[in-house]
Structure 1
Amino acid sequence: MDPAFYVDPFAAGIPWYSENGQFSPQFSSGLGFNYNLQAITVPVVPQVAEVEHRVLSQDALVQTFYEGPKKHNDKDTDTINWVEKEPVQVPEAVKDRYDQAAIRIYKKKDRTAEKTFGGVTAMMVDFIHIQSLLIIDAIEPLLADVGLRPADKSKVRINRPFKELYFAYPLISALAQRQHPHTDLEIHLNVLLKVMDELLSEMSQAIIALQTKKQISYEYLWTIFPKDIIVYSRVDGQDRLYQVVEIAEINHYWGLIACQYVQFDGTIFGMARTTLCIERFPGARSISDLSVYPIGFHPDPNLEKRLAERGREVLDFQDICYREYSGVGKAEWYSDEDEDYDDPKTAKYYVTGRIIIDAFGFGKFNPDHPIIVTAIKPEESDEPHGNARHRSSSDGDSEKRRPSPEEQQSNKNEIQARRQHLLLMSPMLAGYSLKLKRWLWLSIDKVRPLSWNEDAYDHLVFPADHKSLLLSFVKNHKQSSKQIDDVIAGKGKPYKILASNIATYHDIYLGQGLIVLLSGPPGTGKTLTAEAVADKARRPLQYLHAEDLGTQASSTGNNLTKVFDLASEWNSMILLDEADAFLTKRSTGDDNRNETVSVTFTALEEFPFTSANPSVPILAARPGAIWGAE
C-alpha cells in the first residue's frame, strides 16, 4: 500500500504521512491517544537456528489458495473447498508442503462482483494466516494495541476486511524500517507489508477520497472507529463523549460501537460499558452527520471545555444530596439474557419536584438495576493505585460502602488528575423521585438547588401551641434520641401523639422513636401540615398512600421495611396518608386485614430509631380511625 494513501482516522482526516509520502515518526489523536513510534522497541526475536524445533513457517514466501468446487460427499454447504490453483483441488500433501510459508492467503469467489467474459466468478481474499513465528513474535504487541489478541499464537488468522492490519500498518511499517537490512525479521516483515499493500491499497484509496470530503460510506464506517479513539454522540439530549474499546463491528443493519465512559457507582468512579449504534445508510454521508463520530470532526471548539466543567460538577454528588428537578428521568433494567450489563432496557418519565441524589442507595435498594463499573487502570491515571479501593463493582458487595469525606476528596483528585476522565464523565446521576417513588437516572443539567418553603409553616391555620409543639418534636428529636439508644431493642417507649384539629392527645405504646398522628376529616390540612413542618425542619418528606404499600400483609410489611430503611439513610420524615387503612381495629372474619394491621403495628414499633436515625413517621387518618388512639 502506498503510504501516501493511508489516512489517519485518529486525527479527523489528517494523513499519517506527509505529502511526499514520508512517514511521520509521531502522531496523535489530540485526546489521550498518542503513539511515539521512535519509542517502539524491537522485540528480541530468536533466530531461525534457535527455533528449529518450531517447524512451521520459516520460508519468507506467500502461498495463495482459492475456493474450489464443492466435494461430492460434502453435505455442509458452508464448508469451502480450498484449492491451490483454479480449478485443481489441493491435496493434503500439497497443503502440508506449504506449512513452511510465512503467510497463507485464502481466496473465495466474490459473488457480489460481475462475472468475467468467460463466465468465471472473480476471486477475493477471505482471510490470511500469518504462520511466520518471527512475524508473530514481532507484531503481537502491535496487534494487541489495535485490539487483536489471538488465542493461537502459532498461527494468526485475520479476516476480511483486515481491520487490525489497517490500523497497525504504520506501526508495522515503522518496525520494519528499524531492522538491520537482510536480517530474517526484516525480510519477513517486508513480506507481510507487501501482502498488506495488496490487501489494503484499493480500500485506502477509496477511504482517502471520502475523507478528503469529510465523508464516509457504511462499508468503511469501521475505519473511523479504531480502538481507544474518543467519539461524540448526543444521547438523551446530552452531549456525551465515549472511548471506543474495540474496533467497530458493522453488520447488514447496524454499525455497533462498543464504548466506555466514567460513572460513579456510589463508592468509586470507574469505567462503565455501553454500545452505540449507527443505522445502515446508503451512499456517502458527512461524518459529522452521523449519530456517533470522532470528536475531531465536531464543529464546536468549546465542547471539551463545557464537558470538563460538567464533569467537575458531577464530582460534587458523591454523597446524599436533596435537590429539585424538572426534566426527563430514565429507568433502566436488565434482561436475564444480558449477562454483560451493556444493553439495558429503558423507560422514560417526566420528573418534577424534589429528588434525592444517592448513587450508593441506588445500588443498595435497587439490586435488580446495578451500577456496573470496572476500576480505572493504573496507567489511566496519574494518581497512586496501591490501595484496595481501586476495584470492580463485581468484586463483591462486602467492599461497597459510602465513601467518607476523605475518600470523596480522593475520588475527586483521581478523576481530575486526567482531563480525559472529566470529558468521559457521565452527566446522569442516580437518584430517587420522591413524587414518583422511583429510582431513576437524572440529568445533572436539570438538577436545581432546593428552595425551602418556610413560609408555609408560618401560614398554617393551626393553634400556635400545637404548631410549636410539633416543630419542637421534630427538631429536637435527634437530641432526645441519645436516651433511646440504650433502650433494649424491641421494647416500646410511650410517646405523645398529636392529634391535628382535635384539642386532645393520645398515648400509644409504639416504638422507640417519635411517631406523630395527624387526625382530622379530609381537607383539614393534614398533608400540608406535614409538608410545612418538614420544610421548616429542613428534612426530606417521603409521602406514601395506602396503595403504595400493597393490599396483602406480606407486601405491606416488605414495603414498609423498604421505606423505613430509606428514611434511615436519608434522615427523612415519613407521611403515611390514609393510615387508617392499615391501623384499624381488628375484626373477626378478615384474616388478611387483621394480619396487615399486625404487620403495620410491628413495623412501627420496631422502626430503627437511633441518634443516627432521627426519622419521624407521621400518620394521617380520619378522627378515631386508628385503633388504640380513641
Structure 2
Amino acid sequence: MSGEKDAPKKSDEAEKSNSDTVEKGDQTLKDDKPKEPEVPHGSLTEAKALYGKKDSDGKYQWETEEPVDAVDAAENEKTARYAFLVRKQISYDSRKKYDIHSVIVQSPWLKKALGVVLEDYPGITTNLDRLVFRAPFHPFVHRWTRLADMLEKNEFEEEFQREHLQLFHDVLFEELKNAIAAKTDLVKNGVITFEYLWTIFEPQTLVYSVSGGKECVFKLNSSKTLTDQRRGLDFLQLDTWSVDWDGVKFGQHMTYLQDYEFTGTTPITSLHAYPLEFHPEKEQLMARLLHRGKLFESFAGYHYKAYRGVALGYGRCGMIRHNIESRIIIDCEAHNRFLPNNAVYFSPLISRTRKAPRVAAVSDDDAEENENDQYEDAIDLFVDDFDYLGVPDTEDDGTKPERRPLTTEELLLAVSYVRGYAIKTKKWLWFYVDQVEEIKFAENAFASLVLPKEQKSLIRAFVESQVKYKDDFDDVIAGKGRGMIMLLAGPPGVGKTLTSESVAEDMRVPLYVMSAGDLGIDPSGIEESLNLVLDMVSKWNAVLLLDEADVFLEARSSNDLERNKMVSIFLRVLEYYEGVLFLTTNRVKNIDEAFHSRIHVTVNYPSLSTESRRHIWQTFLGHDHPIGSKDLDRLAKVNLNGRQIKNILKTSQMLARSQDNQAPVPAKDGKRGPVRVEMRHLETILAIERGTSWE
C-alpha cells in the first residue's frame, strides 16, 4: 500500500520539475531577446501623434492608436479648385434638408467683387487667403441690395467675376431669401418684428435715441441678441459710440442701447433706438444736432459760464438729477483730477478720408456711383449753409490743445453735455450744452464798495496784476511766492466778503469761496484737499476767498497740537500758491505771527459811518424808490451793518407784497422785478427788530 501511495507523488514531482524547466526556458528566451537602445528624453527628431477619444464620462483620453472612424480632410487640392466651398449641416427646419453652416471663398475674382460689396463693413477683410463667412450671414442681408446692383450692371472686366458672383448670389439667396423678403416688406410698411430687428441695424449706421431727455445720435459698431435674465426677455443690444471730450482730446464714448423683445410688429419709430434714416423729421433734427454739436465743440477746454436747468451728478446707484442755477466752470481736465474714480478717458477719433471704392471689376466712375452711404448726402445739405445757425467757429484762445475741427458727422454724434463745476453748490456735474448761458456780470459791483478810494484802487491793481502777470515775480526757489494774499479784517457786515466778490466780478473771473468746513478738521486730509483746491483755482485764474479763516490763522499754542498741525499745513501750502487769495477775519489780533510775512496786503475795515450806511441803503433800494432824502438820513443814523441793512430790506419787501398784495414788477429778462418798498414798511420791520423806538 505504501508503494501505491508513493507512485502518484513521484509523478507530481516530475510534473513540477518539467514545469520549472519550461518556465526557465521561456525566461531564458526572454532574456536572450535584444533590448531597445536607451534614448535621451526628447531627443528624437520626430513628432508622435496622440489621438483623443472620449471615455464613458465624456472626458478625452489620449491614445497612440488612430481612431478607426477617422476620415480624410475634406479640404484638399481637389476642393481648392472651386470658387467657394459651402459647408452644410442637417437642418431642423421642416422646410429644408440642410442649413448652410459657412462658406469658404477661394476665388480671387469673387474676393475682389465682395470687396466692393462689403467695403467698410466692420470685421471683414476680403483679401485674406482663407476667407470664411459663417451663418447667419448678417453682412449679406445688410448689403444684399449692393450685391444685386453689381450683378445687374454687369460691367465686369473678366467673365469669371460675373459667373462667380452670380453663383455666390444664388447659393446665398436660398439661405437668406426669407430674411431679405421680410426686411423689404417690413421696412416698406414702416414696421419691424423682433425676429428681424437686426436686419435694419447695419454696422456704421447712425442710430437715433433719446438719452437723459435729450435727442442724440450714435454710430453703431455691432448688434447682438441677448437675454435679460431678471426680466425674462430677449433684447437686441446695440454697441454704439458718440463723440465726447475727456479734457485733452475728443474721443469715442462707448454706449450700449437696448431694444427689448415685443410681440408682432411695431412701428420702427416707436423703438427706443432706431436708424436715423427712419426719423420723420430727419433734416430738422440734424440741423438742431449740428447746432448743438458746434456748441459742444466750442466748450472744449476751460470756460466760465452760467447755467440754469437740470444737471446730472454722481450718486451711489448711478447718475442723479439736480436743479442748478449757478455760475459754472466747464473743465473736464479738472473734473478728472478732482474725481479720479469718475475720470473719463476715450479712444481718440480716427480721421477718415472718404474715397470711392476701387476694384478691378468696376471702373472708377462706376465705383463712385456705387458708393452707397445712406447719410452722407443728407449731412452735406447742411454743411455749406451752416452759418445761418449763428454758432461761431471754435477759436484757439491759447488754453486749448491743438486739435483738428470736428467733421460734420462728428458734430452730429457729439454728446449733449459737458463736465464741470457748479460754484454755488460746489458739485461736479454734467451740464447740458443747450442750457449753458453767458454770464451777466454786474457792471457797478466794484463801484458800490464802501471803501476809501485809495484802498479800492490798491486792491484792484493788485488783483489785476496778479491775474495777468503772476509769472513776472519768482522767489529764490522756483514756483514759490508767486501768489497774492490779502487779509480783510474788521467786524461783521462791513463789506469784507463783498470786496472779494466785487473784485472777481470786476475782473470777470470766478470766485471760489472756501470755508473751514470744506476742508474738514483732519490734518491728514486737509493738506491734500487744500492743495487740490489751490491748484484748480490757480488754473482757473479765479479769486479764492477763505471766509472766516480764524481757525487757520489763529496763533499756535502748546496746548492744542492738532490745531498747530492745521496752521502749519496752511502756512506751508500758501508759500506755493500762485493765485489771488482773500482771507477774512474778525479777530486780527489773534493771527499767528508767521502769517504776517505771507500776507501782502492787510485791509482794515472800521465800523460803518453814517455816510457809509446811507450809501448802502441807497444802493440796495436802487434808483427808483419812494424813500425821501430825509428818511434816508434817518435810516443812516441807525447803527446797522451792511448785512443787517440787506436783511431788513428783504424782509420789508415780503411785508410789502403781503400787505399791499403787490404783483411783482415784470422785467425784460423774464425774471420777477422788485417789490415797491415804502418807508412805512421799513419802519415796521425796524420797530420789530430794534424795539418801539428804532431811531
Is this a same-fold pair by TM over 0.5?
A: yes
- Aligned pair partner of 1:328 in 310, 315, 320: 310
Q: Give the secondary-structure state (helix, strand or coil) at the position aligned to 2:167.
A: helix
Paired residues of 1:132 and 1:188 also in contact (CA < 8 A):
no
Choose which of 485, 488, 511 in structure 1 pairs with 2:476. 488
1:579 aligned partner: 549
Structure 1 consecutive aligned stretches of length 4 or more whose deviation exceeds 6 Å: 121-124, 179-182, 406-410
In structure 1, what is the Cα distance between the partners aligned to 2:350 and 2:563?
Answer: 52
TM-score with structure 2 setting the length: 0.61
**Structure 1 257/124 Cα, relative in aligned 2: closer, same or farther at 3 Å?**
farther
Q: Which amino acid aligns with 2:568?
A: S
Matched, 1:161 2:161: no
Matches of residues 106-185 of structure 1 in structure 2 within 5 Å?
106-107=88-89, 110=92, 125=99, 127-134=101-108, 135-136=110-111, 138-140=113-115, 142-143=117-118, 145-149=120-124, 153-175=128-150, 178=154, 183-185=159-161
Correspondent of 1:547 among 499, 514, 517: 517
Q: Note if contact 1:222-1:247 (Cα within 8 Å) is conserved in structure 2.
A: no
SS of the equivalent of 1:145 reads coil
Would you say the 8 A contact 1:130–1:136 is kept in 2?
no
- Following superposition of structure 1 onto structure 2, how do residues 114-513 of structure 1 map, counting pairs within 5 Å? 125=99, 127-134=101-108, 135-136=110-111, 138-140=113-115, 142-143=117-118, 145-149=120-124, 153-175=128-150, 178=154, 183-244=159-220, 246-252=221-227, 253-300=234-281, 301-331=283-313, 346-363=319-336, 367-368=340-341, 369-379=343-353, 404-405=396-397, 414-415=405-406, 418-460=407-449, 466-467=455-456, 469-478=458-467, 485-489=473-477, 511-513=481-483
Is the 1:526–1:620 contact (alpha carbons within 8 Å) kept by the matching residues of 2? yes
Displacement of 1:597 in angstroms is 1.4
> 1:449, 1:74 → 2: CA distance?
74
Cα contact 1:272–1:374 (8 A) shared by 2 = no
CA contact (8 A) 1:129 1:155 kept: no
Residues 1:168 and 1:277: Cα distance change in structure 2 (over 3 Å): same
**Which residue identity lines up with residue 261 of structure 2 in the other structure?**
R
Q: Matches of 2:479 and 2:96 in 1, distance apart?
A: 88
Question: Is the CA contact (8 Å cut-off) linking 1:490 and 1:606 kept in structure 2?
Answer: no
Residues 424 and 105 (structure 1), Cα distance of their counterparts in 2 relative to 1, 3 Å cut: same
Mapped contact 2:111–2:126 kept (Cα < 8 A): no
CA gap of 1:575–1:233, structure 2 versus 1, over 3 A, is: same
Report the counterpart of residue 26 of structure 1 in structure 2.
none
Report the more deviating stretch, 121-130 or 365-374.
121-130
Give me the whole-angstrom Cα distance separating, in 1, the residues matched to 2:479 and 2:125.
Answer: 65
SS at match of 2:532: helix
Partner of 1:623: 587
In structure 2, C-alpha distance between the alignment counterparts of 1:380 and 1:523, rounded to whole Å: 66
Q: C-alpha offsets along residues 240-299 of structure 1, whole Å, 9 cap, x if unaligned?
A: 22222x232222333222223333444554444333222333322111111211222212
1:108–1:439 distance in 2 versus 1, CA, 3 Å: farther
Q: Check 1:140–1:180 CA distance in 2 against 1; reply closer, same or farther (3 A cut).
A: closer
Asked if structure 2 preserves the Cα contact closer than 8 Å seen for 1:133 and 1:154, the reply is no
Q: Deviations over 1:330-350 (max 9, x none)?
A: 3579x9xxxxxxxx9645433
Number of positions where the alignment pairs a residue of Structure 1 with one of Structure 2: 484
Distance 1:457 1:192 in 2: 80
SS at 2:143's partner residue? helix
Query: Secondary structure of 2:353's partner?
Result: helix
Query: What is the CA-CA distance between 1:464 and the residue it aligns to?
Result: 6.1
Give CA-to-partner distance per residue, 1:569-620, whole Å, 9 cap, x none: 2111111234222333323364443222111111112213xxxxxx311123
What is the alpha-carbon distance in structure 2 between the residues aligned to residue 574 and residue 218 of structure 1? 58
Aligned AA for 2:434?
D
Which amino acid in 1 is paired with 2:213? G
Structure 2 contact 105–130 (Cα < 8 Å) conserved: yes
Query: Displacement, 1:329?
Result: 2.6
Instruction: Note closer, same or farther for the CA distance 1:605–1:622 as it changes in structure 2 (3 Å cut).
Output: same
2:250, 2:346 within 8 Å by CA — same for their partners in 1?
Answer: no
For residue 75 of structure 1, the aligned residue among 45, 58, 67 is 58
| Distance (Å, rounded) in 2 between the aligned partners of 1:349 and 1:170 | 48
Distance 1:283 1:521 in 2: 76
Distance 1:371 1:326, change over 3 A: farther
1:93 aligns with 2:72: yes
Provide the TM-score with structure 1 as the length reference: 0.66
Shift of 1:195: 2.0
Cα distance, 1:491 vs structure 2:
10
Deviations 1:490-533 (A, max 9, x none): 798xxxxxxxxxxxxxxxxxx44321223456666543442233
Q: Could you tell me which amino acid in structure 2 is paired with residue 617 of structure 1?
A: L
Q: Residue 418 of structure 2: SS of its match in structure 1? A: strand
Secondary structure of the structure 1 residue equivalent to 2:72 = helix
CA distance in 1, matches of 2:503, 2:550: 22
Cα 1:167–1:122, aligned 2, differ >3 Å: closer, same or farther?
Answer: closer
Cα pair distance change 1:148/1:371, threshold 3 Å: closer
Percent of counterpart pairs with the same letter?
28
What's the offset of the Cα at 1:306?
2.0
Instruction: State the one-letter code of the partner of 2:585.
Output: A
| 2-structure distance, mates of 1:581, 1:355 | 28
What is the distance in 1 between the residues matched to 2:73 and 2:276? 50
Alpha-carbon offset, residue 448 of structure 1: 0.8
| CA deviation string 1:84-140 (max 9, x = no partner) | xxxxx9963384579556323343564xx7xx7xxxx98773731325344446525
Offset, 1:371: 3.6
Shift, 1:460, TM fit? 4.6
Determine the C-alpha separation between the residues in 2 that align with 1:580 and 1:144.
Answer: 70
Secondary structure of the residue aligned to 2:328 is strand
Preserved contact between residue 417 and residue 432 of structure 2 (Cα < 8 Å) = yes
What's the CA shift string for 1:167-196, capped at 9, x where partnerless? 233344455564769955444333321221
Distance in 1 between residues matched to 2:533 and 2:147, nearest whole Å: 61
**Structure 1, unpaired ranges of 5+:** 1-70, 78-88, 336-343, 382-401, 493-510, 609-614
Give yes or no for contact 2:249–2:348 (8 Å, CA) kept in 1: no
- Name the SS for the 1:588 alignment partner: coil
User: In the aligned structure 1, how far is the partner of 2:550 from the partner of 2:581?
Assistant: 14
Cα distance 1:76–1:374, how it changes in 2: closer, same or farther (>3 A)? farther
Tell me, yes or no, if the aligned pair for 2:112 and 2:126 is still in contact at 8 Å.
no
Code of the aligned partner of 2:141: Y
1:1-22 per-position Cα deviation (integer Å, ceiling 9, x unaligned): xxxxxxxxxxxxxxxxxxxxxx
> Relative to structure 1, is the Cα distance of residues 226 and 480 closer, same or farther in structure 2, using a 3 angstrom cutoff?
closer
Compared CA separation, residues 182 and 514, structure 1 to 2 (3 A): closer
Query: What is the CA–CA distance in structure 1 between the aligned matches of 2:408 and 2:539, rounded to whole Å?
Result: 33
Alignment CA distance shift 1:282-1:520 (3 Å): farther
Aligned partner letter, 2:516: A
Q: Distance in 1 between the 2:583 and 2:196 partners?
A: 65
Write the letter of the residue equivalent to 1:377. Answer: S
